[in-house]
Amino acid sequence: MTNDLDIRPADASKFIQGRTGPWELVIGLEVHAQVASNTKLFSGAKVGFGAGPNEQVSLVDAAMPGMLPVLNRYCVEQAVKTGLGLKAQINRHSRFDRKNYFYPDLPQGYQISQLFHPIVGEGEVLVELDDATITVRIERLHLEQDAGKSIHDIDPTATYVDLNRAGTALMEIVSKPDMRSSDEAVAYFKKLRTILIYLGTCDGDMEKGNMRADCNVSVRRPGEKLGTRCEIKNVNSFRFMQQAIEFEARRQIEILEDGGSIVQETRLFDANKVETRSMRSKEEAHDYRYFPDPDLLPLEIEEAWIEAIRQHLVELPDDKKARFVSQYGLSSYDAGVLISDQARADYYEQAAKGRDAKLVANWVTNGLLSRLAETGQDIADSPLPPEHISNLVELIETKVISSKIAKQVFEHMWEEKGILTPAEIVEKHDLKTDNDTGAIEKAIDDLIAANADKAAEVKTKPQALGWFVGQVMRATQGKADPATVNALLKTKLGVE
């Protein structure tokens, strides 16, 4: 059980101002992540989205008499891999328990979960925000089976039950109450999702319910003991999480400032009304009658197997970010943007091969990603292959085109959806940099002759040279090499 001494110290910059003074918001998340597996946790039934009702249900999932669960070894491996990715303790000994409660889409009348001896113990996640980096501690990760789905909107007089999800393997990842704002909670959830996707242990698809969170929210006066928490169930979007936490915090503060008390309860978030509402009161009042599952032996994991899994871990986001900074000379911000999605990081590295890595990062983040965001697309949907970004940077590096012309080339690349390479676009639209120094010199001479007074000022005001550069570039339709223009202007205007 967590006590006040276990949690993160107060941060005055995060306090919420109420009518009667400041309040501290305390948040912990219980994240349910569907294990990336082809079959369920205790049966051979298929797992997948889009199947017809009850098409992926085995006799075990349907709790037919005499059916016994058989633990899926691959799901255990995925849980161990996740624990290692969270820098957590892998428990050599764990056990499955029965959590007893009745619900129509839970045919067994209990859920197989882990209460007393989870497969993964304490770990941590580093979360970067705009103003700081915080550590969110992981309390535990345990495996459990999902329930089915009750459908209430097909028939006004009946409830339909779809058991396709029943028995699907879930990892429940429980954090310590280390977050102090909705921004921190969302940033943690995003970072955790990124780690799981990198590891390949969960696809992170929140729209399909494959990753969702229960948000434990409480408030307290700074320096006082922890307040009574309320749990907001099944939040499955970053925006909803932020809205739900902020509403709940204000709701609790208003009750306390009016002299009331907070009732420990489970609440749901109404996205249409942007508010939480009571679902059931006092979770501790539920008697789940946990006891060890008699059909499943205790789980004993060999250290050699744990080490074998560790040896095959992928490069994790924090490690990749550090490498991008050291290997490619990127800023911490740009590296963070690129590693936030594994496909994005892979795209960048392919484009950066043999090229100016900083320049490639600029075109990927400020060019391609900005355009994709405008159309609501991900990097996987990009019409431009990484080779085209690489080719564009190569044309800039070799002075075939200027940086200004490169923007025109990129516009053609985007409009033509990658049909032509940048080099082909340059040829088609005659966009090559004009390195004819004779033509550039003539443009400069004409400009100086027409602006003799400004030319005279340049010797005493060297910053005025920029005006001449702009005018020459305009006269050459942006095709002149800027470096050549600068050098010639300095010579002709006598600027050192």
Q: What is the bridge-based pairing of β-strands 275-281 and 265-270?
A: antiparallel
Q: Which of 212, 233, 245 is nearest to 283 (CA)?
A: 233
| 253-to-225, 231, 398 alpha-carbon distances in Å | 15, 16, 62
pLDDT at 4: 57
d(CA 211, CA 123): 19
pLDDT at 1: 43
Q: Which of 494, 496, 453, 490 is nearest to 472 (CA)?
A: 490
- What distance lies between CA 225 and its chain's CA centroid? 32
Q: How many C-beta atoms lie closer than 10 Å to residue 241's C-beta?
A: 25
Q: pTM of the prediction?
A: 0.87
Beta strands in 52-115 (DSSP E): 93-94, 97-100, 110-113
Report H helices in 419-494. Answer: 422-429, 437-450, 452-457, 465-475, 482-493
pLDDT at 422: 97
pLDDT at 65: 94
According to DSSP, residue 236 is labeled -
Q: Which residues of 19-51 are buried (b: 16+ CB within 10 A; e: fewer)?
A: eeeebbbbbbbbbbbbbbbebbbbbebebeeee
| 46-to-32, 105, 196 alpha-carbon distances in Å | 19, 18, 21
Q: How many helices (H) and strands (E) does the chain have?
A: 16, 16
Helix (H) or strand (E) holding 26: strand 21-34
pLDDT at 486: 73
Beta strands in 221-364 (DSSP E): 230-235, 265-270, 275-281, 291-292, 299-300
pLDDT at 275: 96
pLDDT at 282: 57
Q: What is the CA radius of gyration of the chain?
A: 30
Which residue stretches of the chain have pLDDT < 70? 1-7, 281-286, 434-436, 460, 496
% of the chain at pLDDT higher than 90: 76
Return the SS3 of 245: helix
- Residue 432 and residue 400 in contact, taking contact as beta carbons nearer than 8 Å: yes
d(CA 27, CA 254): 18
Structure confidence by residue, pLDDT tens digits, 255-287: 999 999 999 999 999 999 999 999 876 555 567
- Residue 476 and residue 493 in contact, taking contact as beta carbons nearer than 8 Å: no
